[in-house]
Amino acid sequence: MFESLSEKFSSAFATLRGKGRISESDIDLVAEEIRSALLDGDVALSVVEKFVARIKERSLQALPEIRKSTNQSQEIYSIVNSELVEILGGPARRIRFAKNPPTVIMLAGLQGSGKTTLAGKLALHLKEQGNTPLLVAADLQRPNAVTQLTLLAQSIGVPVHAPEIGNGVGNPVSVAKSGIELAKTKLFNVVIVDTAGRLGIDEELMKQAREIKGAVSPDEVLFVVDAMIGQDAIRTAKAFEEGVGFDAVVLTKLDGDAKGGAALSIAETTKKPILFASAGEKLTDFDYFYPDRMASRILGLGDIATLAEQAKKAIDGDTAKRLEEKFVAGEEFTLEDFLEQIQAMKKMGSMSKILGMLPGANSAAMRKQLDAIDDDELIRTQAIVQSMTPKERRDPKILNGSRRSRIAKGSGRTVTEVNNLVDRFSAAQKMMKQMRGGKIPGGMGLPPAMASGISGGISGGISGGIPNLGSPANRVPPKKKSRSGNPAKRAIEEGR
Amino acid sequence: MGLFGSFFAKFSRNKATPEDLDEFRRVLIESDIGAEFTDEILKLVEKERSEALAEKVTECILSSLSQEPRTIALVPERVTTILVVGVNGTGKTTSVAKMAKRFKGEGKKVLLAAADTFRAAAVEQLTTWGERIGAPVVVGKTNSDPASVAFDAATKATAEHFEILIIDTAGRLHTKSNLMEELTKVRRVVEKVTPIDEVLFVLDGTTGQNGITQARTFMDAVALTGLIVTKLDGSTKGGIALATERALKIPVKLIGTGEGEGDLEIFDPATYVSNLLTQP
């Protein structure tokens, strides 16, 4: 298993801590660690060399300040992070719409990088923003790529232009052209052209892509890359840039545990922005690409920003406000609130996906815990709570044996499961009381309750943390606690 | 031996410069065999400065690989069952079709099972291949239980005396534990009818170091017996194949070398390593 860069980093610094004063050779040592971590993260060698050289240079320049700092590893860590964000491309860019519709978006990429699925996701995304997209099935190569796109289009309610059945038959250039014509007459404002996957060296298919591009003159050519790609990323990106030419990059399969070093390689080599990040099998698993979040991922810091955003999206403003008021007023947190939260959590996606965004989620130990999470648990928990009467939900103390066995029957679960839930709930309640008193248990690490049974820990975390996200001023100030020895953890604690 | 021939020659005569060494490191790293394996090989190069350096390096790589046979052993008295697994977009369905084509060419009676009931049109993709090759395909409905499709196929294969059954499964990221469990179930259910003889993991040749983690997780779920490495038809070196084989000790059995139906070869490590070392 690969150690995350943050783990390697902290081990490199463990020896330095006792010294008190960092020397130039210590920087070399750390640079070596960064180098091997980036290589393990599939960043292309040439990019790694350049990157490490820059880090060394900046660290040496900043050495006097670093020495003054009380937290030397954190200083170098911030240098690494800011360099990463810079290469990954500053603030996220959006799709450029044409002045005269339709806006034409063409997808190109290697076989199996996820173009067709992405076409569906992008169409849904654009539709949700009030556009009228049209999908064009110009991958006539792969058996049933056309059928796949047609089915995807149906499921999201987006029209598809698929005049040829594909499977090696038909001319993709004329399909693309007639697609644009159709969009013009039927007034679709965006056209997404799915093309056949190709190999970097395949000149014939490359030529075909060039011809499609020439025929439809797209406003955006998106190069679709699998986040798991290795050292080939650069060669492939270059081949596509020379062979077809592209304007921006989309990273797919980010729901795996690959570090996604390819993002760094491609951004550095082609200087093209990365527009979107696709992470998941559902068509809604799609988001803009945020350089700072990707940097955190490469560094193994987790994706707190996305997590917070999804939580905000899932919990509607009123509920959040009401919960927050309750919390501040010192009212008891009830099973009814809990049920509401479960429903909100279900909107955010699977539990393992949510927790996978936490820092350290890709470490071996954490992965094991994540694996142990049963995503159906949420549904079962919900069933149990729904089988309770409103009175029971408000006051779980009245749950005697006969009530519990009725609830078990009603929800189709065992009495033991009902008992467990009630126990976990009271633990969560207790935790909330402590939080109100200013004692926040644990850092950003998983509270034990979260691993053994999601409900207790999460409900505490969500109600205590998320409703406050919009208005940090209202937050009950946590008691100052000791700083974590792990730079990754500390960065989170300090809100960097 | 091409580029590295001259490099090895220099080295054996102690004339290699640090730049030569760097260049060698670059080629190894860029083949995706991983930083650790690269360091190991470089150590050997620094230590071993004899005439036979090239052979020594080749030997070092080969000896770290699996010693298991690389052929797919057919069981004569009953249906030989092959389960094909992997993450999304690595080329599972295409590999299944190529394998079927190969077996058909040997005059075998082949049955295919489309147990990828998740991805839109995956079933149709395999059905189209089946028609082209002339192998019947057992299908289920979209979003039906893949284990039930596999079970039906196993039952049919046994009853109708097929010689080979190849089961195509849905691509799944190894990080999705529920999907990995689904795969374990497919295996369990099929084995109620007939034993599974091969579980082949399809690895995209362009994958980076994550490939090892992928294979390891699949190994835990369904006990892999071999690897199929795909998309080795470009400039792709596919060093991750060696790295994975070395880490998990499961042999690469087949490699996909092109887009044609016949572009599937039995993996020959010696040729592969020699290509790796001779082509820049």
Which among B10, B29, B63 is the end of a domain? Answer: B63
Q: Which residue of A has its CA nearest to B236?
A: A232
CA distance A439 to chain B (A): 34
Q: Looking at this protein, which amino acid is placed at residue B174?
A: H
Region of residue B91 (phi > 0: left; psi between -120 and 50: alpha; otherwise: beta)? left
Strand partners, A296: none
Q: How many separate domains does chain B show?
A: 2
DSSP H helical ranges for A374-476? 377-386, 390-394, 401-411, 415-436, 448-452, 454-465
B232 and B159 within one domain: yes
Q: How many CB atoms lie within 10 A of CB A319?
A: 16
B89 and B45 within one domain: no
Q: Looking at this protein, which amino acid is placed at residue A117?
A: T
Reduced 3-state DSSP string for A196-223: CCECCCCHHHHHHHHHHHHHHCCCEEEE
DSSP letter string, B26-89: HHHHHTTS-HHHHHHHHHHHHH--STTHHHHHHHHHHHTS--S--S-PPPSSS-EEEEEEESTT
Q: Is the pLDDT of residue B1 over 60?
A: no
Q: How far is CA B103 from the centre of its chain?
A: 17
Determine contact, residues B227/B201, Cβ cutoff 8 Å: yes
A86 and B CB contact within 8 Å: no
Pairing of strands B80-86, A220-226: unpaired
CATH number at residue B92: 3.40.50.300
A190 three-class SS: strand
B105 and B58 within one domain: no
Give the number of beta-carbon pairs within 8 Å between A and B.
144
Best of A226, A232, A298 to substitute, by most chain B Cβ atoms within 10 angstroms, is A232
Nearest to B207 among A230, A257, A281 (CB): A230
Nearest to B91 among A112, A233, A370 (CB): A112
Sign of CA dihedral A150, A154, A156, A160: positive
Sign of CA dihedral B95, B99, B101, B102: positive
CA distance A35 to chain B (A): 10
Contact call for B120 and A40, based on CB within 8 A: no
Residue A424: the pLDDT is 82
**Rounded Cα gap, residues A247 and A218, in angstroms:** 10
Q: What are phi and psi of B86, to 5 degrees?
A: 165, 175
Q: Which residue of A has its CA nearest to B172?
A: A281
Contact call for A256 and B87, based on CB within 8 A: yes
Read off the pLDDT of each residue in B108-124 and give the average, rounded to a whole number.
Answer: 88
Q: Is the pLDDT of residue B14 over 60?
A: yes
Determine contact, residues A299/A345, Cβ cutoff 8 Å: no
Within a domain: B278: no
Nearest to A112 among B90, B118, B175 (CB): B90
How far, CA to CA in Å, does A313 sit from each of A57, A310, B173?
Answer: 42, 5, 26
Which among B16, B33, B63 is the end of a domain? Answer: B63
**Rounded Cα gap, residues A31 and A80, in angstroms:** 10
Nearest to A352 among B118, B128, B177 (CB): B177
Residue A473: the pLDDT is 36
Rounded to two decimals, what is the model's pTM? 0.73
B92 and B212 within one domain: yes
The burial class, CB within 10 Å (0-12 / 13-18 / 19+), for B142 is middle
User: Which residues have C-beta within 8 Å of that of residue A32, sequence separation ≥ 6?
Assistant: none
User: Which residues have C-beta within 8 Å of that of residue A232, sequence separation ≥ 6?
Assistant: A200, B32, B206, B235, B236, B237
A286 three-class SS: strand
**Rounded Cα gap, residues B117 and B139, in angstroms:** 9
Residue A344: the pLDDT is 72
Residue A474: the pLDDT is 37
Pairing of strands B264-266, B252-256: antiparallel
Chain B partners within 8 Å of A230 (Cβ): 32, 206-209, 211, 239-240
Residue A440: the pLDDT is 44
B46 and B14 within one domain: yes
Q: How much is the CA Rg of chain B, to the nearest whole Å?
A: 21
Within a domain: B71: no
B221 and B101 within one domain: yes
Residue A361: the pLDDT is 60
- Per-residue pLDDT tens over the stretch B16-30: 677 778 888 888 888
Residue A472: the pLDDT is 35
How is residue B259 annotated by DSSP? S
- Per-residue pLDDT tens over the stretch B46-81: 777 666 777 888 888 898 898 888 999 899 999 999
Q: Name the A residues in 120-159 with CB < 8 Å from any B CB.
A: 141-145, 147-148, 150-152, 155
B155 and B25 within one domain: no
Within a domain: B72: no
Read off the pLDDT of each residue in B145-169 and give the average, rounded to a whole number.
Answer: 95
Residues of B within an 8 Å Cβ radius of A: 26, 29-32, 34-35, 87-91, 118-122, 124-125, 128-129, 173-178, 204, 206-211, 213-214, 231, 233-237, 239-240, 259
Contact call for A148 and B31, based on CB within 8 A: no
A43 three-class SS: coil
Q: Is the pLDDT of residue B197 over 90?
A: yes
Q: How many CB atoms lie within 10 A of CB B230?
A: 31
Within a domain: B68: no
Q: How far is CA A313 from the centre of its chain?
A: 14
Pairing of strands B198-204, A248-252: unpaired
B189 and B161 within one domain: yes
* Residue linked to tokens 């992928």: B214
Q: Which residue of B has its CA nearest to A361?
A: B175
B56 and B90 within one domain: no
Domain with B97, as residue range(s), is: 80-267
B94 and B24 within one domain: no
Which among B63, B90, B115 is the end of a domain? Answer: B63
B144 and B17 within one domain: no
Determine contact, residues A73/A34, Cβ cutoff 8 Å: no
Q: State the maximum Cα–Cα separation within chain A, in Å, rounded to a whole number.
A: 74
Q: What are phi and psi of A126, to 5 degrees?
A: -70, -35
Contact call for B175 and A255, based on CB within 8 A: yes
Residue B261: the pLDDT is 83
- Per-residue pLDDT tens over the stretch B231-255: 887 667 888 999 999 999 999 999 9
User: Which residues have C-beta within 8 Å of that of residue A314, sequence separation ≥ 6?
Assistant: A344, A345, A347, A348
Among the listed residues A451, A287, A272, the one whose alpha carbon sits nearest the alpha carbon of residue A360? A451
Residue A177: the pLDDT is 94
Q: Looking at this protein, which amino acid is placed at residue B268?
A: D
A419 three-class SS: helix
Within a domain: B272: no
User: Which residues have C-beta within 8 Å of that of residue A23, sequence separation ≥ 6?
Assistant: none
Residue A362: the pLDDT is 55
Q: Looking at this protein, which amino acid is placed at residue A302?
A: G
B84 and B59 within one domain: no
Question: Over its length of 496 residues, how does chain A's per-residue pLDDT go in tens digits?
Answer: 234 555 666 666 665 655 667 778 888 888 888 888 888 888 899 999 999 999 899 988 988 887 777 767 677 778 888 888 888 886 667 889 999 889 999 999 988 888 999 999 999 999 999 999 999 999 988 878 899 999 999 999 999 999 988 777 889 999 999 999 999 999 999 999 999 887 666 788 888 899 999 999 999 999 999 989 988 888 889 989 998 999 999 999 888 777 778 888 999 999 899 999 888 888 888 888 888 888 877 776 555 556 666 666 666 666 667 766 776 676 777 888 778 777 777 766 666 666 666 655 655 566 666 666 666 777 888 889 999 998 898 888 898 999 999 999 999 999 999 998 888 888 877 777 776 665 444 333 333 333 333 333 333 333 333 333 333 333 334 444 445 555 555 555 444 4
Q: Which domains does chain A have, with CATH numbers?
A: 5-88 (1.20.120.140), 103-300 (3.40.50.300), 305-484 (1.10.260.30)
* Residue linked to tokens 């998309």: B231
Within a domain: B244: yes
How is residue A300 annotated by DSSP? T
Predicted ipTM of the assembly = 0.80
Residue B134: the pLDDT is 94
* B189 vs B25, higher pLDDT: B189
* Residue linked to tokens 């360099």: A83
